[in-house]
Amino acid sequence: NAAHLPKVPKTKVFATFSQAIEALKKVGIHSIVQSELYAEQTKNEELSSYAQDNHMGYKFVPGNSDVFVGKIDVELLQNIPVVSVHSTALVGWGRVAKRLFDIVISMLLLVVLSPLFLLIALYLYLFDHGDVIFKQSRLTRFNTSFNIYKFRTIKHTYNNMLPEEGFAKMGKPQLAKKYRENGDFLPRDPRFGHFGSFLRKTSLDELPQLLNILKGDISLVGPRALVHRELDNYAYKNLILSVKSGLTGLAQISGRKDIQFEERRRLDLYYVQNWSFWLDITIIAKTAVQVVGRVFNGKAD
């Protein structure tokens, strides 16, 4: 079918099936790609049999190929090829290996970084009286709610308040609109003290999420954990929520708050559909380099 042929230079198009078979006999080819299956099964069998008899490779494009995203498996069901379509490449043993990796690394980091945990907790408790840990309901795999853990970065006066309430209390209600328009972010948010700003700039406020990882709420690497209110206007949310959210991800190492919302979502989608263990390792390595750089030179993304 000429309408379904890929755009290949100098491609010959034949009007009938028999003409195509005759042409194949005259040229030296090593593989046949059938761009669309014939309605008559005998023609499909004749073409595949010809390829087998002449020691050629044979491939065909299944119908509705536009829906094939993520990972694809092909298996035989009663000698009939069946295509299994997965929304993400993170399936099977890959998911098991990723979970084991999360457990080992999170336990190791919790032990190694325990002195830093203690120092941050003591500072928050002694010099900015209030809760040490901030909890917020977020979404992870299969639209499951969980409480995400972070070191509190907001001054205790405005803790446990909605941004609108906090800005109103400090007499700056106009900042609430800017905060929402900028994707829930202000470059110099007055609700944060100096130490809280330092924790956020260096991403050290995220360290308690290692407990979330150990519990299995999230993974070391994955899409950003969504807030419930974001779902209404979030396209492809079910695809993104087909894997666990992550402590870090492609969006975080690509500019964090400097990139637009649509770009962050595109990066999350790419990760879900193209996951690999090597991609996780690359993201973790880049995250570590960026965090160390921000801690020692005070650079904020």
The residues with which 1 forms a beta bridge, in sequence order, are none
What are the start-end ranges of the E strands in the chain? 31-34, 57-60, 71-77, 80-86, 133-140, 144-151, 219-221, 246-248
Mean pLDDT of 116-122: 95
pLDDT score at 10:
61
**From CA 75, how far away is CA 82, in angstroms rounded?**
5
- On the question of pLDDT at 64 being above 70, the answer is no
- pLDDT at residue 298, as a whole number: 58
Average pLDDT, the chain: 84
In the prediction, which pLDDT does 109 show?
97
User: Which one has a higher pLDDT value, 145 or 182?
Assistant: 145
What is the per-residue pLDDT for 3?
Answer: 54
Please tell me the predicted confidence (pLDDT) of residue 23. Answer: 75
pLDDT of 15 reads 67
pLDDT at residue number 301: 43
Average pLDDT estimate for 239-260: 87
- State the angle between helix axes of 114-127 and 194-202 in degrees (0 to 180), rounded to the nearest 10: 150
Beta-strand relationship, 31-34 and 57-60: parallel
139: which DSSP letter? E
pLDDT at position 253 over 60: yes
Strand, coil or helix: what is 224?
A: coil
pLDDT for 139 beyond 90: yes
Query: What is the DSSP annotation of 177-217?
Result: HHHHHTTS--TT-TTB-HHHHHHHHHTGGGTTHHHHHHHTS
Question: pLDDT class for 78, splitting at 50, 70, 90?
Answer: confident
104-133 mean pLDDT: 93
CA angle 101, 209, 264 (to 5 degrees): 90
Report pLDDT for 52.
Answer: 80
> Which residues, other chains included, contact 27 with Cβ-Cβ below 8 Å and sequence gap of 6+?
none
| Structure tokens given for 13 | 């198009």
CA-based nearest residue to 94, from 221, 266, 251: 221
* Mean pLDDT of the 181-185 span: 76
Nearest 10 degrees: Cα torsion 98, 254, 301, 247: -20
Q: Is the pLDDT of residue 63 over 90?
A: no
In the chain, where are the structural domains located? Answer: 2-61, 93-153+192-297
Task: Decide which of 287 and 161 is more confident.
Answer: 287
Q: What is the mean pLDDT of residues 94-119?
A: 96
Q: Tell me the mean pLDDT in the region 213-232.
A: 91
**Highest-scoring range by mean pLDDT, 10-24, 40-54, 66-80, 138-152:** 138-152
Q: What percent of the chain has pLDDT over 90?
A: 37
Q: Which of 72-86, 183-197, 203-217 has the highest mean pLDDT?
A: 203-217
